[in-house]
Chain A
Amino acid sequence: MIPGAFDYHRPTSVNEAALLLRQLGEDARPLAGGHSLIALMKLRLAMPEHLVDLSGVDGLKGVRREGDDLVIGAMTTQHDIIHDAMLAESLPILRETANQIADPQVRYRGTIGGNVANGDPGNDMPAVMQCLDARFRIASPDGEREISARDFYHGAFDTELHRGDIVTEIRIKAPPRGHGYAYEKMKRKTGDYATAAAAVILTLEGGRCARASVALTNVADTPLWAEEASKILAGSDLGKETLDRAAAAAEAITNPASDLHGPAEFRAKMAGVMLRRAVMRAQARAKA
Chain B
Amino acid sequence: MSVQTVESERAARAEKLEGLGCKRKRVEDIRFTQGRGNYVDDLKLPAMVFGDFVRSPHAHARILRIDASRAKALPGVLAVLTAADLKPLGLHYMPTLAGDVQAVLAEDKVLFQNQEVAFVIAEDRYVAADAAELVEVDYEPLACIVDPFKSLDPDAPVLREDIKDKMEAAHGPRKHPNHIFEWSVGDKQATDEAFEKAEVTIKELIVDHRTHPAPLETCQCVASMDKIKGELTLWGTFQAPHVIRTVVSLISGLPEHKIHVIAPDIGGGFGNKVGAYSGYVCSVVGSIVLGRPVKWVEDRMENLSTTSFARDYHMTTELAATGDGRLTAMRVHVIADHGAFDACAAPTKFPAGFFNICTGSYDIPTAFCSVDGVYTNKATGGVAYRCSFRVTEAAFAIERAMDVLAQKLAMDPVELRMKNFIRPEQFPYQSALGWEYDSGDYHTAMRKAAAAVGYEKLRAEQKEKRDAFLRGETREIMGIGVSFFTEIVGAGPSKNCDILGIAMFDSAEIRVHPTGAVIARMGTKSQGQGHETTYAQIIATELGIPADNIMIEEGDTDTAPYGLGTYGSRSTPTAGAATAVAARKIRQKAQMIAAHMLEVHEGDLEWDIDRFRVKGLPEKFKTMKDIAWAAYHDLPPNMEPGLEAVNYYDPPNMTFPFGAYICVMDIDVDTGVAKVRRFYALDDCGTRINPMIIEGQIHGGLTEAFACAMGQEIRYDEHGNVLGASFMDFFLPTAVETPVWETDYTVTPSPHHPIGAKGVGESPHVGGAPCFSNAVNDAYAFLNAGHIQMPHDAWRLWQVGERLGLHH
Q: Residues of A at under 8 Å CB distance from B?
A: 1-2, 4-5, 43-44, 103, 186, 188-193, 195, 259-263, 266-267, 269-270, 273
Contact = CB atoms under 8 A, between A and B. Distances in A.
Interface in B296-324: 299-301
The 9 closest A-B CB pairs, nearest first, are A262-B795, A2-B129, A1-B299, A260-B729, A260-B724, A266-B795, A190-B734, A190-B736, A189-B737
Contacts of A188: 711, 731, 737, 793-794
A47 to B, nearest CB: 10
Contacts of B711: 188
Given A2-B125, A188-B711, A188-B731, A269 B798 contact: yes
A25 B133 CA distance: 24
B731 A189 contact: yes
Contact of B795 (A5, A43, A263): A263
Interface string B717-735: 0000001100111011110
B126 A191 contact: no
A178 B129 CA distance: 55
Interface string B734-771: 10110000000000000000000000000000000000
Interface in B608-645: none
B794 A273 contact: no
A263 B733 CA distance: 21
A266 B793 CA distance: 12
A262 B794 contact: yes
A192 B728 CA distance: 6
B217 interface: no
B737 A186 contact: no
B715 interface: yes
A191 B734 contact: yes
Nearest to A1: B299
Contacts of A4: 129-130
Interface in B669-696: 670-671, 673
A122 B645 CA distance: 61
Contact of B671 (A186, A193, A261, A263): A186
A1 B301 contact: yes
A2 B795 contact: no
B807 interface: yes
B128 to A, nearest CB: 8
A123 to B, nearest CB: 14
B494 interface: no
Contact of A270 (B129, B671, B724): B671
A219 to B, nearest CB: 13
Given A5-B130, A189-B736, A260 B723 contact: yes
14 contacts: A1-B299, A1-B301, A2-B52, A2-B126, A4-B129, A44-B133, A188-B731, A191-B727, A259-B723, A260-B729, A261-B729, A262-B798, A263-B795, A270-B798
B799 interface: yes
Contacts of A189: 731-734, 736-737
Contacts of A2: 52, 125-126, 128-129, 299
Contacts of A186: 671, 673, 794
Nearest to A193: B728
A269 B807 contact: yes
Contacts of A266: 795, 798-799
Contacts of A261: 729, 795
A264 to B, nearest CB: 10
A266 to B, nearest CB: 4
Contacts of B301: 1, 43
Contacts of A195: 794-795
A186 B793 CA distance: 12
Nearest to B733: A189
Nearest to B726: A43
B729 A259 contact: yes
A43 B798 CA distance: 32
A251 to B, nearest CB: 12
Q: Taking each of A2, A191, A266, which has the highest tally of chain B beta carbons within 10 Å of its own beta carbon? A: A2
Contacts of B723: 259-260
A275 to B, nearest CB: 12
B808 to A, nearest CB: 8
Contacts of A260: 715, 723-724, 729
A262 B801 CA distance: 14
Contacts of B673: 186
Nearest to A262: B795
Contacts of A191: 727, 734
A144 B283 CA distance: 55
A200 to B, nearest CB: 17
Interface in B274-303: 299-301
A4 B301 CA distance: 17
Q: Taking each of B130, B723, B794, which has the highest tally of chain A beta carbons within 10 Å of its own beta carbon? A: B794
B455 to A, nearest CB: 30
Contacts of B727: 191
B604 to A, nearest CB: 65
A1 B300 contact: yes
Contact of A273 (B125, B130, B671): B671
Nearest to B723: A260
Nearest to A122: B728
Nearest to B50: A2
Contacts of A193: 728
Nearest to A263: B795
Interface in B149-183: none
Nearest to B128: A2
B658 to A, nearest CB: 31
Contacts of A103: 734
A194 B795 CA distance: 13
A191 B734 CA distance: 9
B279 to A, nearest CB: 15
A199 B346 CA distance: 52
A273 B734 CA distance: 25
A190 B737 contact: yes
Contacts of B794: 186, 188, 195, 262
Nearest to B132: A2
Given A191-B727, A273-B670, 13 more contacts: A1-B301, A2-B125, A2-B126, A4-B129, A186-B794, A189-B737, A190-B736, A259-B729, A260-B724, A261-B729, A262-B794, A263-B795, A269-B798
A288 to B, nearest CB: 27
B407 to A, nearest CB: 27
Contacts of B728: 192-193
A100 to B, nearest CB: 11
A43 B300 CA distance: 11
Nearest to B795: A262
Contacts of B793: 188, 262
A273 B727 CA distance: 26
A189 B129 CA distance: 31
A195 B736 CA distance: 17
B122 to A, nearest CB: 11
B454 to A, nearest CB: 30
Interface string B348-367: 00000000000000000000
Contacts of A259: 723, 729
Contacts of A5: 126, 130
Q: Taking each of A1, A44, A192, A195, which has the highest tally of chain B beta carbons within 10 Å of its own beta carbon? A: A1
A273 B808 CA distance: 11
Contacts of B733: 189
B299 to A, nearest CB: 4
A280 to B, nearest CB: 13
A263 B795 CA distance: 7
A5 B724 CA distance: 26
Contacts of B807: 269
B560 to A, nearest CB: 33
A192 B734 CA distance: 11
Nearest to B300: A1
A247 to B, nearest CB: 11
Contacts of B798: 262, 266, 269-270
A193 B726 CA distance: 13
Contacts of B52: 2
A192 B737 CA distance: 12
